[in-house]
Every structure is written in structure tokens, then in C-alpha cells.
Amino acid sequence: MKISVLGTGNMGKALVKQAAAYAGGQVFWGSRNPAEAAELAKTFQLDGIVTGSYEEALQADIIIPAFPASAMIEWAAAHKEKIKNKIVVDISNPFNNDFSGFTTAWGESSAERLQSLLPESKVVGAFKNTFFKVFENPVFEDQKSDVLVTGDDEEAVRQFIERFEPLPFRFLHAGRLANNRTIERFTLLELELAVRYGTYPYISLQLFGIKEAVPAN
């Protein structure tokens, strides 16, 4: 399945670099400034990165808009017809401007909100708990960083994990999209812990007791 990443911020760069290095095949990098993305791609010295516009990036099967949660609503409304039946990966966390809380209600997540805006797309939540610095070294003391993958479409979750499994992370099926209500809030706690212990922005999850990435049921 073809992968595209939209955006040249920290997470966009990190995702493109990892996907191009490990996932195999082409990774399309969409940007509002394709020339800038092309120059950045050269610095990675990796084969398989194709750059172009945001519109061109929508042709992929798995689309990762690496935008802040505040930009996702407008993006979804503008492109919902073009991304029908596509897997759309939500990596965003709905933090407010000073990181003291959330822009979503207690019983809502960014991923659920995106799915409601894109009823004919298959929204998968992933990489929410993974800060961009972790992509540079996702293995800490011989333990891989865990990526929690959620979705209401089981086949979409399976396809995402299968496509990204070559990356040096451990991908765990973390259930339905509603579980992002917990994941997104815990990610803000991760941020606070990283600042408190002086490791920000290098922090992620490692869950003990799970031997296999494939769930028992």
C-alpha cells in the first residue's frame, strides 16, 4: 500500500525518514512548498522519497497528515471527497496552546472527531504517544518504543500495522478509536514527565508483559 505524509514539521520529517528507511517502496511527501520538501529529502540520503503537493499526496492508500489537531478539522472538510475509502492516520493530540489541557471534551478524542468528519474514510490513530525525537533512536536500553494503534475498522488497523511493522518500533493493537481519549491524555502526562526529568522531547512508552505484537483476540 502506498504511503504519503503531509507536512514538513518535526513529525512529518521524522515519519518520512523512518518510512523511507524501513517500510520499502515509495513514500510520497506532500508539502505546501514541494521545493522545500525536495531539498529536505536530499539531506536524508534515502531512496524512495517522492515529493509534491498536498493534493498529489492524497492519491496514496495510507495518508498521514502531520498537522496539529487544530488544523485537522479544516483539512478534513476540504478533502473528504478525495480521501473516501482511504486509511487516514491521525497522529495529532488536541493540546491547548499552553499545554495545560485539551481542546476536546472529556468524552471525545481527536481521532474520533476526525472519523466523524470523514465517515467514508478509515481513521487509524497512531504515533500519538511518540514524540518526534524518539524517531532518531526508538530503541532505549534494548527496548523498542511502543506505538499504540487504534481504529474502528479492524482491517485498516491490520493493514497499517502490516505496512509499518518493519520500522524499529513495536506496534500494538490498542483497540477502538475511543481509546484515544486515554492515549491523548496520557501523552500530555508523558510530556510533563519528560520536562520534569529533563528528557523532553525524548520520551515514549514501553509496556511490559506483552511478548508478541499480535493480540490474542
Per-residue pLDDT tens digits of the chain, which is 217 residues long: 999 999 999 999 999 999 999 999 999 999 999 999 999 999 999 999 999 999 999 999 999 999 999 999 999 999 999 999 999 999 999 999 998 889 998 899 999 999 999 999 999 999 999 999 999 999 999 999 999 999 999 999 999 999 999 999 999 999 999 999 999 999 999 999 999 999 999 999 999 999 865 665 6
Claim: this prediction has a pTM higher than 0.75: yes
Phi, psi (5° rounding) for residue 15? -65, -45
The per-residue pLDDT for 215 is 62
β 87-90/122-125 pair status: parallel
pLDDT of residue 217: 61
CA 148/CA 126 separation, integer angstroms: 6
Q: In what order do the strands lie in the sheet with 146-151?
A: 49-52, 27-30, 3-6, 62-65, 87-90, 122-125, 146-151, 170-173
27 within 8 A of 1, measured Cβ to Cβ: no
**Does the bond joining 94 to the residue before it have cis omega, within 30 degrees of 0?**
no
> So what's the pLDDT on residue 214?
60
To which residue does cell 475511543 refer? 178
Q: Which of 149, 133, 128 is nearest to 72 (CA)?
A: 128
d(C-alpha 182, C-alpha 98), whole Å? 20
